[in-house]
Structure 1
């Protein structure tokens, strides 16, 4: 659906976050006389009124009955289409779309392909991979957009021009691309672990929704991780498949980067913390090859990449303790990857947050063989994690503490290290509740550790350069 197709229809916006505001701006720019209704929280009402738009009505009760009064609802990504009120309205004929769907529909060529588009998704690593792709393309002299879930809605670049589009998509947005009727030129899927079960309802639905970027959006070229068992078993008859992470494509052998049997460069000194991030470099280079460019010629430019905030971010050291902010970590697998990076160091890790029902059994099993010096649990699921780990602490040799909040968890972690080691915030869970998002949680961690939150929070390169 294109923006012009909203003209004269009963249209509502559901959500007034970053994506909701971008949708309002885009619709208003193309359809200045189009009446709109926004469903938002009471706390967002002042922001809506501040727009001064006389054609923008404001409501708070997004019930199935009220949503059913509209032909089209432009929904913010964080609102699940599986909510009862959304399902009720869908049953009554309301069509729900996202801002990403509108952008892709506007950009599709005659063959349905959005030229230069590279969509990147995965349970972990997608932000760094997307930013690294934009960095390498720009280093090669290509005008490149960096947008999407990473922090800049696509609709805010509705009329912009670029050679290439590095687009991060969450599992909340992959279906938007499929619903747009457009096709990405390249789609990259990094990995699939259980996440966002509260939004999707089950792990099976999470995987199916994530894979809609491949199975329904039908990219011209799909760039897939050959080490992920779910991806390795896919059959995509309408897409050319390019693999990374295995011997016939871009892959790592220890720290050495290879394309097939060709050794390209040593990655040990790159500003990409953790082997998983250097694996993401393989995905980026495979995507660049898929665009028809020479990835090997650009690979060395990874040395000048600026790591993103809140992702294994070393804030600094004080009194023998190094503080590391990995607030982006929202799955137990991400916490394990963070611990792997600091293997051999004394580490006190902070885990726990919003409880989405994800199992921590794999994390607990890993602690039997390779535990840090201390684990401090916190948040809504903290007690559940603590109860799972308690029987292991003595035999595995780690201290186990529980804390009511982040500040207390940090104090207990620092005390457990006794002046030597790493306090690692890698919660393995979202931040909802005390914090709006992982960024706010990471900023508070920096503040409580004695560092400037503003100095550690900006993402360089958003937009077009």
Structure 2
């Protein structure tokens, strides 16, 4: 272990889902742990009491001051690099790790390799697809990282794994300088979290860290040149290959789609002449274009690990997507109602809108500084109508006026949670048989709902009331 924790003074920055387990693990390794946290609410006080009972020092309401004698900081991924705590650490020469870096450093010599996934959208679905494929191949695995099993639990627990399917956010990658995956994929790149990273260039650079030191394959999106550029810039091990995925016919060293079949021209003998059938498009649930791309990325990582073609098919067939991800709720009077509440930014919503031919679009919420002109211009021909909700709905309304002036728009001023029932009723009024009423808000939910899950549940309940 390159960093000896026994007797070292480690500061854990932030309580919550990553900070509490990190503090416990470090304490168990013999470190002198101090936890600092910005907030001091009831939840933070309860977590602090739990840690203090173990002998861990906790300082609530003071997340900016570097504790005296700190030799290492382990930070929650969401803490901005510009915080005074990190400025002080830099001046003092104190290294800063995230929970992913800590997990990477704590791996046993014989621990499972990591197949890692990042991207602006689609990470969770792709990692879950990948885990399903790996399980279908008979491998001991888990979906870990930003979802599922805690990475720290996965590398320090008693459960033994053959390989891990790891979801990583740009925040986590920023604080993981020594991560070296077996193979990794960047699914796509679009502006997001720029307030945290400072610029699109910095955001892309942090995403690109996932390729550093890859041993077998760097998987990129042929339709998104920025992902290929990150592969070209990465410092990888000799022999590591660039593997593309595309919704079109694949070139050599790519996976793609031919006549409704997912095919591999990367991990086959004589890839210039041969291709391996992996699965049918109908095996992907749901078979929307962006989800087929997710399936191809998952398949590429699995094939890089040596998984047979039949396991790709069986794993995709066994996969069930999480709720609120382009989920079909019901058909009412010949109209399909689809919940994609997880589409919290324009890039995700663009993919969702592209999956249907004639749409009544329910959108709006907190825009997070986003603009919607490009999104609306690209989807204008598919829109039967739009129903707008939420605090920043005017931004979408104005984009619709500029780029789709013929599309009827219902602007709901009410921002209570009951607005969703009215939104669904208005959408029903606008829809015709064969249309899809699509909740794909392109915005965050916290102006009206606790999270996107509650927003999607409200939509589904409203749809059920239509059909009652």
Q: Name the TM-score class by shorter chain.
A: 0.7 to 0.9
Return the alpha-carbon distance in structure 2 between the equivalents of residues 196 and 68 of structure 1. Answer: 32
Q: Contact between 1:197 and 1:206, CA under 8 Å: does it hold in 2?
A: yes
Q: 1:92 to 1:327 in 2, by over 3 A?
A: farther
d(CA) in 1 for partners of 2:426, 2:51: 52
Check conservation: 2:361, 2:383, Cα contact below 8 A.
no
Deviating 4+ runs (over 6 angstroms): none
* Distance (Å, rounded) in 1 between the aligned partners of 2:375 and 2:131: 33
Q: 1:285 aligns with which of 299, 316, 323?
A: 299
How many residue pairs get matched? 439
Contact 1:334 1:428 in 2 (8 A): yes
CA distance in 1, matches of 2:18, 2:464: 32
* 1-structure distance, mates of 2:48, 2:62: 18
Note the alpha carbon deviations across 1:345-370, whole angstroms, 9 max, x for none. Answer: xx332323333323322112114333
Where 2:142 maps in the other structure, the secondary structure is strand
State the partner residue of 1:349.
Answer: 361
**Counterpart contact for 1:374–1:413, Cα < 8 Å:** no
Partner in structure 2 of residue 164 of structure 1: 163
What is the correspondence of 1:115-154 to structure 2 with a 5 Å cutoff? 115-154=112-151
Distance, in Å, in 1 between the alignment partners of 2:214 and 2:420 is 45
Q: In structure 2, what is the equivalent of residue 299 of structure 1? A: 313
Q: Summarize the Cα distance change of 1:393–1:293 in structure 2 as closer, same or farther, 3 Å threshold.
A: closer
Displacement of 1:219 after TM fit? 4.6
Counterpart of 2:81? 81
Listed one character per residue, the Cα deviations across residues 68-111 of structure 1 (whole Å, up to 9, x for unaligned) are 7633222111222233553344334343211111111122649x
Q: 2:269 matched to which residue of 1? A: none
CA distance in 1, matches of 2:6, 2:364: 46
Cα drift, residue 36 of structure 1: 2.6
Counting only pairs closer than 5 Å after superposition, residues 304-319 of structure 1 correspond to structure 2 as 304-317=318-331
Q: Distance in 2 between matches of 1:355 and 1:141?
A: 43
TM-score, normalised via structure 1 length: 0.84
Q: Which residue of 1 aligns with 2:405?
A: 394
Instruction: Output the CA distance in 2 between the equivalents of 1:68 and 1:254.
Output: 64
Deviations 1:365-390 (A, max 9, x none): 114333242241423x3222222223
Contact 1:285 1:296 in 2 (8 A): no
Match of residue 454 from structure 1: none
The residue correspondences of 1:27-106 to structure 2 (distance < 5 A) are 27-31=26-30, 34-43=32-41, 44-51=43-50, 53-54=52-53, 55-66=55-66, 70-106=70-106
Paired with 1:88 and 1:435, the residues of 2 have a C-alpha distance of: 37
- Contact (CA 8 Å) 1:40, 1:58: kept in 2 or not? no
Give 3-state SS (helix, strand or coil) of 2:351's partner. helix
Change (3 A) 1:41 1:167: same
Residues in 2 aligned to 1:65 and 1:86: alpha-carbon distance in whole angstroms: 9
Give distance in 2, aligned partners of 1:11 and 1:89: 12
Partner residue, 1:338: 352
- Answer yes or no: is the 8 Å Cα contact 1:377–1:383 preserved in 2: no
d(CA) in 2 for partners of 1:206 and 1:169?
13
Corresponding residue of 1:238 = 236
Structure 1: runs of 5+ lacking an equivalent: 452-465
Judge conservation of contact 2:14–2:35 (CA < 8 Å) in 1.
Answer: no
Q: Matches of 1:74 and 1:435 in 2, distance apart? A: 31
> Which moves more between the two structures, 123-132 or 37-46?
37-46
Q: Which position in structure 2 is the counterpart of 1:457? A: none
8 Å contact 1:65–1:89 — kept in the other structure? no
Question: In the alignment, does 2:393 pair up with 1:382?
Answer: yes
Output the CA distance in 2 between the equivalents of 1:109 and 1:200: 33
Going from structure 1 to structure 2, the CA distance change for 1:353 and 1:151 (only over 3 Å counts) comes to farther
Change (3 A) 1:351 1:200: farther
CA distance in 2, matches of 1:271, 1:135: 13
Whole-angstrom CA distance in 2 between matches of 1:77 and 1:254: 42
Pick aligned residue for 1:193 from 190, 197, 206: 190
User: CA, structure 1 residues 70+348, in 2 after alignment: closer, same or farther (shift >3 Å)?
Assistant: farther
Shift of 1:269: 5.0
The DSSP-based 3-state class of the residue aligned with 2:44 is: helix
CA distance in 2, matches of 1:68, 1:198: 30
> TM-score scaled by structure 2?
0.84
Structure 1 range deviating more: 324-333 or 369-378: 369-378
Match of 2:282 among 253, 265, 268: 268
Whether contact under 8 Å (2:6, 2:29) holds in the other structure is no
